[in-house]
Amino acid sequence: MSYHVNEKGFYGKFGGAYIPEMLYPNVEELRQNYLRIIQEPDFQEELQALLKDYVGRPTPLYFAPRLSEKYNTKVYLKREDLNHTGAHKINNTIGQVLLAKRLGKKRIIAETGAGQHGVATATVCALMGLECIVYMGEIDIERQAPNVARMKMLGAQVVPATSGSKTLKDATNEAIRDWINNPENTYYIIGSVVGPHPYPDMVARFQAVISEEIRAQLLEKEGTELPTYVVACVGGGSNAAGAFYHYLDESEVQLIAVEAAGKGVDSGESAATSILGKDGIIHGSRTLLMQTEDGQVTEPYSISAGLDYPGVGPLHAHLFESKRARFESATDEEALQAVLELTRLEGIIPALESAHALAVLDRLNAKPEDVVVINLSGRGDKDLSTYLKHFHFDEK
Ligand SMILES: *Cc1c(COP(=O)(O)O)cnc(C)c1O
């Protein structure tokens, strides 16, 4: 069984490029060039230098002693929260902006829901001196004011999507319309392992630095590159794809993907895509997505804005169907408890998204000699108002 993309852009039966004809030239230009450019020595040299000195890589692999003691196993945290801008997303935007430059593009577009990908994109555009336009649903602009302020401060133009539900889906439609109208000078940076081929593969390759580093760091700390478990949360699936990538073909390493159950998998308010989803097409690829009987995409829900997505990338749909990865889910409440637990046991305030991965520690049945690596995808600064509201610190 292969877990890598084939020449046609598929992972098993998932993936592909189901796009309008007018988008074909743009996607085809990328498909024909991405592997060649990424493999060029001067591209790699520039990428590695920026990952080191700008992003702050390698991120530490931290042995968490008090968390380990509590769960009676060896828990390591891959500290993506320590990256510049506070999460793993910059690994991908740095890679894609360098690719855009090599393709001679002068204008960068992106869409964003919670604003995290928008900020990571605006950041690398400032770094490279490129024009940046971020499409964002009108409602999300209101909900995510601090990230909108960051993007504007970085010099990006934030364009509200005012149609439909005025959220991520509508922002995506606007971005695609822009790209169709500006095929020559514009590059579209997608923020997760979603979208038409070659995006899922390209984003997975840029995030794969996470598992490349884990292997080397575990060898040093445990005398083996292979942990018993790798655990990561899944929205679109990019941090999980990065954490899993160099372990996909190591069958003894158990891969655990954690989705957001929201108010409960069966509550009607959740984002547990693989468990609830059916085969369908979203954002240009065939994958598992939450939909009604007649194929309308269901509005997802999670307290965590980064996991609030109705699909998963095609790689994850394939990992689910082939049972290579085990899919778990954590509710809002479980994630919040995990936030407080990590904060109080290790002095690390995690992002709400990452806390979903932490929340399944007690379900792994890990043995004392097992090694559990949890990908800590981001830091909790952006979620502080949620934490304050939920934990009522002002009353204690
Ligand atoms: C965006 C985000 C996620 C979810 O995106 P993936 O593509 O599934 O990784 C997870 N954690 C953090 C901190 C994020 O910002």
Task: For 141-183, give the secondary structure using H, E and C.
Answer: HHHCHHHHHHHHHCCCEEEEECCCCCCHHHHHHHHHHHHHHCC
Domain-wise residue ranges, the chain: 18-51+89-198, 56-86+208-390
Angle at 63 between CA 61 and CA 65, to 5 degrees: 160
Q: Which residues contact 307 (CB under 8 A, 6 or more apart)?
A: 233, 234, 235, 259, 260, 271, 353, 356
The catalytic position among 80, 111, 174, 341 is: 111
354 is catalytic: no
Check if 377 is active-site.
Answer: yes
Q: Which helix (H) or strand (E) holds 385?
A: helix 384-391
- The H or E element spanning position 123 is helix 116-128
Best residue for ligand 1 mutational test, from 92, 121, 144, 239 (most atoms within 8 Å of Cβ):
239
Place 165 in a pLDDT band, splitting at 50, 70 and 90: confident
186 C-alpha vs ligand 1 centroid, how far in Å? Answer: 25
Using DSSP's 3-state secondary structure scheme, residue 225 falls into coil
- Distance, in Å, from the CA atom of 384 to the CA atom of 292, rounded to the nearest integer, reads 34
Q: Is 111 a catalytic residue?
A: yes
CATH entry 3.40.50.1100 includes domain 18-51+89-198? yes
Residue 396 in this model has a pLDDT that exceeds 70: no
Return the residue whose CA atom lies nearest to atom 13 of ligand 1: 378
Q: Tell me the average pLDDT of the chain.
A: 96
CA 160 – ligand 1 centroid, Å: 22
Q: How many CA atoms lie within 13 A of 308 on its CB side?
A: 21
- SS3 assignment, position 43: helix
Distance CA 187, CA 194 (A): 16
CA angle 112, 312, 296 (to 5 degrees): 85
Minimal-distance CA residue to ligand 1 atom 10: 353
Please check whether the two domains, 18-51+89-198 and 56-86+208-390, share a CATH topology. Answer: yes
Q: Are 360 and 328 in contact (CB under 8 A)?
A: yes
Structure confidence by residue, pLDDT tens digits, 322-347: 999 999 999 999 999 999 999 999 99
Q: Is the pTM of this model over 0.95?
A: yes
Mutation to probe ligand 1, out of 211, 307, 383 (largest number of atoms < 8 A from CB): 307
Give the closest residue (by CA) to ligand 1 atom 14: 306
Pocket test for ligand 1, best of 117, 233, 358 (most atoms within 8 A of CB): 233
Q: How far is the CA of 238 from the centre of ligand 1 (A)?
A: 7
The catalytically annotated residue of 68, 74, 78, 89 is 89
E strand residue ranges, 182-289 = 186-188, 229-233, 254-262, 278-282, 285-289
pLDDT tens per residue, range 271-324:
999 889 999 999 999 999 999 888 888 888 889 888 988 889 999 999 999 999
- Single out the residue of 178, 213, 197, 205 nearest to residue 62, CA to CA: 213
| 236 has pLDDT over 80 | yes
**Secondary-structure class of domain 56-86+208-390 per CATH:** alpha beta
131-137 and 157-161 beta bridge pairing? parallel
Q: Whose CA is nearest to atom 1 of ligand 1?
A: 306
- 3-class DSSP state of 59: coil
Q: Ligand 1 site: residues with CB under 6 angstroms? A: 87, 89, 116, 192, 233-239, 306-307, 351, 353-354, 377-378
Q: What average pLDDT score do residues 353-359 get? A: 98
Closest residue by Cα to atom 7, ligand 1, is 238
> How far does residue 152's CA lie from ligand 1's centre (Å)?
21
Q: What is the pLDDT of residues 83-113, one digit of tens each?
A: 999 999 999 999 999 999 999 999 999 999 9
